[in-house]
Amino acid sequence: MGINNEIFKALGAVEMLLAALSGAMIKNQLLVLFFISLAVFQYGRQ
């Protein structure tokens, strides 16, 4: 029983890590898009 518990804990940690990584990647892409659009907007106003 204890061994199964450890396996589930490890799987949960890996899953959380993957979710955090993919979430960070999505956030970074959104930030990049935001800054690009901001730069284009500023450039267009000049």
Q: 46 pLDDT exceeds 70? A: yes
Domain range for residue 40?
Answer: 1-46
**14 pLDDT exceeds 70?**
yes
pLDDT score, position 42: 87
Looking at the chain, the number of H-run helices and the number of E-run strands are 1, 0
Residue labelled with tokens 């907007």: 41
- What percent of the chain stands above pLDDT 90? 15
Q: Which two tokens stand for residue 41?
A: 């907007």
CB-based contacts of 8: which residues, under 8 Å, 6+ apart? Answer: none
What mean pLDDT value characterizes the chain? 88
Give the Cα-Cα-Cα angle 38, 33, 31 (nearest 5 degrees): 95
| Number of domains comprising the chain | 1
Does the pTM surpass 0.75? The reply is no
pLDDT of residue 1: 62
What distance in Å separates the CA atoms of residue 36 and residue 4, rounded to the nearest whole number?
Answer: 48
